[in-house]
Amino acid sequence: MKQKKVLVIHGPNLNMLGLREPEIYGRVTFAELNNQLKELAKELELELEIFHSNHEGALIDKIQEAMPDIDGILINPGGLAHTSVALKDALSILEKHVVEVHISNIHSREEFRHFSYVAGVADAVLVGFGIDSYLLGLEGLARLLQKS
């Protein structure tokens, strides 16, 4: 059986993990997070591609480019979760499993963060588990892919 392929998308400012507001986002660096995701993907027997951009259009281009080759997306859209209808639309065209993750609990922060456009097209949303939001999200996505 062919290995399922997952695209991990990191949105704006996530490349600054470990430096950016460590009281909210923790001290794990972007590189450390990606290494943890790669290790977990091996355990789950998933093929993993990781992509980051601080630019909305680049994220949308990557989703469209990846459409024929991937089985699902794990995405932390960062602040674009709360502002980008275009990112939501790109994910809805995808017609693949999508899991949205956020390191912090967006519902306990500023009011503008309480709503996510991406959540409306995601199969699941995990928030507030720190870096583990990504790992739990990848495990959940693997289970969704096994069922489909």
Q: Which of 97, 102, 117, 134 is catalytic?
A: 102
Q: Is position 102 annotated as part of the catalytic site? A: yes
Q: Is position 117 annotated as part of the catalytic site? A: no
> For residues 79 and 11, is the Cβ–Cβ distance under 8 A?
yes
3-state SS assignment for residue 71: coil
Output helix, strand, coil percentages for the chain, rounded to the nearest 5.
50, 20, 30
CA–CA separation, 21 and 51 (whole Å): 22
Q: Which of 25, 97, 117, 134 is catalytic?
A: 25
Q: Which residues form the catalytic set?
A: 25, 102
